[in-house]
Amino acid sequence: MKKVLILGSTGSIGINTLNVIRNFPDTFQISTLAVNSKIDLLESQVREFNPGTVVVRDEKAGMELKKRVAGKCEVLIGERDLIEAAKNLDYDIFVGAMVGFCGLAPTLEAIKRGKIIALANKETLVVAGEIVTKLCSQYKAKLIPIDSEHSAIFQCIEGGKINQVEKIFLTASGGPFLNKNKSSLASVTVKEALNHPNWKMGNKITIDSASMMNKGLEIIEAYWLFGVEKEQIEVVIHPQSIIHSMVQYIDGSVKAQLGLPDMKLPIQYALTYPERLPNKFPRLNLAQIGNLTFFPPDLEKFECLMLAYNALKIGGTAPCIMNAANEIAVNKFLNGKIKFSHIPKLISTALEKIENRRSSDIDAIFECDKETREFVLTLS
């Protein structure tokens, strides 16, 4: 039995991870569930999966859960306990599924223990990719991507040699605004932005998909995961979301990983790697799908994608600034404080005004994140 800690068990990745684990009761055991604040769903997960420990980041919610599950499991509360859980509790696989910068510190602790890291949290590699990859090497932690695109690349490269890779193609659905012109983005509503054509995800990642910042984060993530040059990573729009990414080799051969737009597939692969276990998930029917189409992204319309390319090129703490600014900007949009079209404007302003630091020290990363958030909160 492999013991699993899920950081972010009530989010879309966390829920799908539990859906996978539910099918393999003799293979996996839930040891710890950790969430921000959704205790109603967490309570039902506790009663079904019987973890020894749960962690609730929000203190008020944590105190309420403690009353509800008294005698069922240990309840830890707060940011510090979230980090301590990753540092001290008993588990074999760490599933990093909590959205945002808050997932970084616990992930670093799991890496230092040499655990298997099944990573869905893009921000961990975006803001601290150099630190994370060095620590994985130092502590012999195995980093396996859960993102469908990076899982696809990981699978395409498996058995090959990274020095024979010529190009990585990250596929993108284009989101709900693929066929809108740039001028119309100023008037789109939150409801429209959350209406993704292919995937059911949490609010933050769905807005990132609508702005294509999600793909920008994935570019930076791919750079650190696979050790290729920046110029070797290319985004291609693929509206059907059937090919999850492709790898082109130096002889011109292209490998692609195909599947239905269902996160359970990459999650299962990360949990069972290097094995593949049978399941009863729906199968891909290419004859039924009919056509697969591809075209380049509109970088003028999707400004966030260009901002991510530039942040990676600049290096230093630029990706950290970009990520922190984006998290605050997305939250402002979701709460009706700014227009959708203002998201890249706030990010661009932060990149211009916040000092870029070359240091790869983790304290510099946390300081940069804090400074950027405080600055962007003042913008409108």
Same-domain check for residues 163 and 308: yes
Mean pLDDT of 298-323: 96
In a domain, 38, yes or no: yes
- pLDDT interval class at 234 (50, 70, 90): very high
Query: What CATH number corresponds to the domain at position 379?
Result: 1.10.1740.10
- Contact call for residues 126 and 220 (beta carbons, < 8 A): yes
In a domain, 86, yes or no: yes
User: Given 288, 313, 338, which residue is the final one in a domain?
Assistant: 313
How many Å apart are CA 17 and CA 217, to the nearest integer? 22
**Nearest Cα residue to 130 out of 254, 297, 316:** 316
Same-domain check for residues 23 and 120: yes
Same-domain check for residues 75 and 208: no
User: Given 128, 145, 162, which residue is the final one in a domain?
Assistant: 145
- pLDDT interval class at 244 (50, 70, 90): very high
Query: What CATH number corresponds to the domain at position 26?
Result: 3.40.50.720
Instruction: State the Cα angle at 345 between 339 and 348, rounded to 5°.
Output: 155
User: Given 145, 167, 193, which residue is the final one in a domain?
Assistant: 145
- pLDDT interval class at 66 (50, 70, 90): very high
With the CA atoms of 18, 54, 202 and 300 taken in that order, what torsion angle do they form, in degrees rounded to the nearest 10? -110
**Nearest Cα residue to 333 out of 215, 185, 231:** 185
Give the position of tokens 């994985």. Answer: 136
In a domain, 378, yes or no: yes
Q: Please count the structural domains in the chain.
A: 3
In a domain, 163, yes or no: yes
Same-domain check for residues 133 and 180: no
Same-domain check for residues 140 and 154: no
**Nearest Cα residue to 234 out of 317, 294, 157, 303:** 294
Q: Which of 76-85, 132-141, 190-199, 233-242 has the lowest mean pLDDT?
A: 190-199
How many Å apart are CA 380 and CA 360, to the nearest integer? 30
Same-domain check for residues 156 and 214: yes
Q: CA separation (Å) from 314 to 267, 352, 358?
A: 32, 12, 10
Residue 197, pLDDT score: 84
Residue 358, pLDDT score: 85
The pLDDT tens digits of the residues spanning 339-364 come to 999 999 999 999 999 999 987 789 99
Q: Is the pLDDT assigned to residue 128 strictly greater than 90?
A: yes
The pLDDT tens digits of the residues spanning 186-218 come to 999 999 999 988 887 889 999 999 999 999 999
Residue 161, pLDDT score: 86
For residue 305, the tally of other CB atoms under 10 A from its CB is: 23
The pLDDT tens digits of the residues spanning 1-32 come to 999 999 999 999 999 999 999 999 999 999 99
In a domain, 268, yes or no: no
Same-domain check for residues 45 and 77: yes
In a domain, 200, yes or no: yes
Q: Please give the residue range of the domain that contains residue 126.
A: 2-145
Q: Is the pLDDT assigned to residue 159 strictly greater than 80?
A: no
- pLDDT interval class at 158 (50, 70, 90): confident
Query: Residue 236 is encoded by which pair of tokens?
Result: 């291609």
Q: Is the pLDDT assigned to residue 166 strictly greater than 90?
A: yes
In a domain, 286, yes or no: no
Same-domain check for residues 65 and 154: no
Which residue intervals of 102-230 are DSSP H helices?
104-112, 122-139, 148-157, 190-193, 203-211, 213-226
How many Å apart are CA 190 and CA 339, to the nearest integer? 9
Same-domain check for residues 237 and 364: no
In a domain, 289, yes or no: no
> What one-character DSSP code corresponds to residue 78?
S
Mean pLDDT of 280-308: 96
Same-domain check for residues 302 and 324: no
- Contact call for residues 362 and 128 (beta carbons, < 8 A): yes
- pLDDT interval class at 160 (50, 70, 90): confident
Instruction: State the Cα angle at 191 between 45 and 370, rounded to 5°.
Output: 70
- pLDDT interval class at 107 (50, 70, 90): very high
Q: Tell me the sheet residues that pair with 29.
A: 3
* Average per-residue pLDDT for the chain: 96
Same-domain check for residues 114 and 180: no
Same-domain check for residues 40 and 166: no
243: left (phi over 0), alpha (psi -120 to 50) or beta: beta
